[in-house]
Amino acid sequence: MACALGLGLRLHRLGAESLWYDETVSAHLAAFPPAQAVQRTALDIHPPGYYLALGLWADADGTSEFALAFFSCLLGVALIALTYALARPVGGGAAAALAAALSALSAYSVWYSQEVRMYTLAAALACLLLLITTRMASGPSPWWPIWGVVAAGALYTLYYTLFLLPALSLYWLVHACQAQRDRAGALARWAGAHLLALLLYLPWLPIAIRQALDPPVPPWRSPLVWTEALRQGAAALALGEAAPLRWWPLAAALVVVALLAPWARHVRRTEALLLASAFALPWAFIILISLAQPLFHPRYLFPYSPFFLSSLAVTLRAFGPHRSKRYVASALALVFVVGNAMSLDRGWTQPEFRADDLRGAVGELAESWVPGDVILVNAGYTYTALEHYWPGEIAWMGRVIDYSGAGAAAGPVILQGGSLSANPGLGWGRPESDFYATTLEQMVAGVERALAANRRLWVFRLYDTVTDPDGLLREWLSQSLIQTEDRAIPGPSFGRLQAFVPLLAELPCAEPVEWEGLILTCVEVSSESPAERIPVYLYAAPGPLEASGSEPSSGQTLHYTVRLTLPSGDTIGQTDGRVALRERAAVLNSVALELPPEAPPGEYAVQLGVYTLSQGSWHSLQPSLGGRPMDSPAGLAEVGRVTIGP
């Protein structure tokens, strides 16, 4: 019953949102063949185990948001059963059933059961490791090689599982030393299991040490006061990450109750002490190390959450035989259920808990992209969102400093920015690293090469306060180029999608079209285009060009309409937008004119109109060429023709 309830909660809205930054990294690394995945992960800050497992899963189930997240979902349901198995030998069947129910309802568990990351796999391996440890400690067992394999697997999945091993090793060692018969054999099995784990992990150990001591990514976490780590950790464990932090006293009460499990009545105290230690000691280790090196985030406690839930269930169940304590237990259980229900609702409905809409941002960018556009991503792994969600082929992708300046018509050029003001050894100085140190001069040179061979620069901004903490590139872009687009990426990370074009002193045509003296334009209809769209390059300047003021005479906002028309004059495709203008400059407005799927082969006219919007009404401006009115209905001027082949 608990597993069915848990599955239902975890399937709700599964895959409904976009993958966020870390999840696109998971999809990216899982797509490599195993050997390459290991090599690429060696340049990251996590071990490769989860990515290898996710890659096998994706080969069988696909790479949609639902398919990728379903791997975590199934592991999350398995955690319900494992939580039951943890509590049963400590507090009996009733405590185990309660533990499974708490696990099914846990907002913390639902959250990570819907995320394409390694935390549910790490939690499942941690549970298996503890269960095997108690089996080995209870007497002679042939499972010691399994312990070594699972311990190594846990470390290959998430480094933070290391903090669990001391408690398990000490528990097993104490029982081995107390063995009445075959003490030497018990100690040999203990040593053999640890030696096997070490041997299996030895190939990765130098990389793990280097990643820990010299991370190949720029610092992204600030030191956290230890009391704040306690509050955030308690709130996450007991009520979920979407719970308001002001609820932490209620969460702290539940944590304290869980810690009382070893002193509850009618429980196996040694095993209860192990359960409580299995979530409390790793939490303490992380906080202590964070005093010197920031390590804490609530998500890193999740692998230990089944131990917390089992301990909480054992204690609450032990209150049952006493009427006064039964009321306390019922009240605490109600706090858990109501708090987690509210946390689930907040996580599913409140905007601050939605993932960054990278899917929508990439889709919006793909709809706006035309040949001659290049895309700059200025955070190391942001390109993985473009790689995952771009609907077609990517022509070229690489570091800005490696870009030769070639344009592309078949797909976008994606430039990976570097980290400004960073340690020169960032990414260990390896050219294949996704994070690398660079200077403003190198970045500017790459952007200028891009704009010399192309027309427009898109900037996919995400976490650039990490890679450009002083805003050097942002300042240069705002001062040296003309920004024509600035769109927010919905989500908690304040991402932005921006477009820039170079400043032109004059229109790039001999005889521009004038629109009632307000605007001068020249238009290029490109023959290099994807099959489903026609690129139209509209250059616009205030008319006359030497006039002052960044907007036309009376400050009207000008809009363009670009239409694809049949010989009969019927419109079969249309794109409208605001005309970008700047003082004493010509500004490029790149337009993607969509072709309808049913358009028959033939020659079509591309027409341009300019109009003003004021108080909900619009006024079409009449074009003229060299002072002579142009023969065009509704203020439209034919600016080019295209032929659509069969």
Convert the pLDDT of each residue in 253-272 to its tens digit: 999 999 999 998 889 999 99
Q: Is the dihedral of CA 283, 114, 349, 6 positive or negative?
A: negative
Predicted confidence at residue 554, as pLDDT, reads 47
Predicted confidence at residue 530, as pLDDT, reads 57
Which of 626, 540, 533 has its CA nearest to residue 579?
540
DSSP designation for 19: P
DSSP designation for 524: E
Tokens for 157, please give them: 């999945």
Hey, which bits of 516-601 come out as E strands?
519-525, 533-542, 557-565, 571-578, 587-594
Question: pLDDT of 597-614, one tens digit each?
Answer: 777 888 889 999 998 877
Identity at 38, one-letter amino acid code:
V
Predicted confidence at residue 545, as pLDDT, reads 59
Which residues lie closer than 8 Å to 625 by C-beta, 6 or more apart?
Answer: 511, 513, 514
Predicted confidence at residue 118, as pLDDT, reads 98
- Given a cut of 80, whether residue 56 has pLDDT beyond it is yes
Question: pLDDT of 366-380, one tens digit each?
Answer: 999 988 899 999 877
- Given a cut of 90, whether residue 163 has pLDDT beyond it is yes
371 cis-preceded (ω within 30 degrees of 0): no
Of 265-269, 309-313, 362-366, the range with the lowest mean pLDDT is: 265-269
**Rounded to a whole number, what is the largest CA-CA distance in the chain?**
109
Work out the pLDDT band at 166, boundaries 50, 70, 90.
very high
Q: Is 260 helix (H, G, I), strand (E, B) or coil?
A: coil
Work out the pLDDT band at 548, boundaries 50, 70, 90.
very low
Predicted confidence at residue 531, as pLDDT, reads 62
Identity at 168, one-letter amino acid code:
L
- Whether residue 236 contacts residue 301, with contact meaning beta carbons closer than 8 Å, is answered with yes
- Whether residue 642 contacts residue 527, with contact meaning beta carbons closer than 8 Å, is answered with yes
Predicted confidence at residue 237, as pLDDT, reads 97
Predicted confidence at residue 599, as pLDDT, reads 78
Predicted confidence at residue 625, as pLDDT, reads 64
- Whether residue 310 contacts residue 275, with contact meaning beta carbons closer than 8 Å, is answered with yes
Which residues lie closer than 8 Å to 114 by C-beta, 6 or more apart?
Answer: 10, 13, 14, 69, 72, 73, 76
Work out the pLDDT band at 41, boundaries 50, 70, 90.
very high
Work out the pLDDT band at 381, boundaries 50, 70, 90.
confident
- Given a cut of 70, whether residue 551 has pLDDT beyond it is no
Query: What are the φ and ψ backbone dihedral angles of 133, each rounded to 5 degrees?
Result: -60, -45
Residue 466 CB: number of other CB atoms within 10 A? 18
Predicted confidence at residue 18, as pLDDT, reads 97
Predicted confidence at residue 180, as pLDDT, reads 67
Tokens for 632, please give them: 């065009």
Predicted confidence at residue 50, as pLDDT, reads 98
- Whether residue 261 contacts residue 308, with contact meaning beta carbons closer than 8 Å, is answered with no
Question: pLDDT of 392-404, one tens digit each?
Answer: 889 899 999 888 8
Which of 434, 438, 491 has its CA nearest to residue 462?
491
For range 346-352, the mean pLDDT: 93
Which of 620, 614, 617 has its CA nearest to residue 556?
614
Torsion angle, alpha carbons of 436, 442, 446, 449, to 10: -160
Query: What are the φ and ψ backbone dihedral angles of 543, each rounded to 5 degrees?
Result: -105, 135
Among 84-93, 212-221, 444-453, the range of highest mean pLDDT = 84-93
Model pTM? 0.92
Predicted confidence at residue 634, as pLDDT, reads 64
Q: Exposed, middle or buried by CB within 10 Å (0-12, 13-18, 19+), for 487? A: middle
CA distance 11 to 423: 43
Predicted confidence at residue 77, as pLDDT, reads 98
Torsion angle, alpha carbons of 594, 598, 600, 603, to 10: -20
The chain-wide mean pLDDT, for the chain, equals 90
415 or 594, higher pLDDT: 415
Question: pLDDT of 129-154, one tens digit each?
Answer: 999 999 988 877 788 999 999 999 99
Which of 457, 423, 452, 419 has its CA nearest to residue 438?
419
Q: Is 211 helix (H, G, I), strand (E, B) or coil?
A: helix
Work out the pLDDT band at 193, boundaries 50, 70, 90.
very high
Predicted confidence at residue 141, as pLDDT, reads 78
Of 96-100, 180-184, 189-193, 258-262, the range with the lowest mean pLDDT is: 180-184
CA distance 543 to 587: 13
Question: pLDDT of 474-497, one tens digit each?
Answer: 999 999 999 999 999 999 988 999
Predicted confidence at residue 385, as pLDDT, reads 95
- Pairing of the two strands 623-625 and 533-542: unpaired
For range 183-201, the mean pLDDT: 95
CA distance 169 to 150: 13
Question: pLDDT of 513-535, one tens digit each?
Answer: 888 888 889 999 987 655 678 89
- Given a cut of 70, whether residue 627 has pLDDT beyond it is no
CA distance 345 to 343: 5
Angle between helices 305-318 and 119-137 (to 10 degrees): 60
Tokens for 381, please give them: 């792994």
Predicted confidence at residue 320, as pLDDT, reads 65
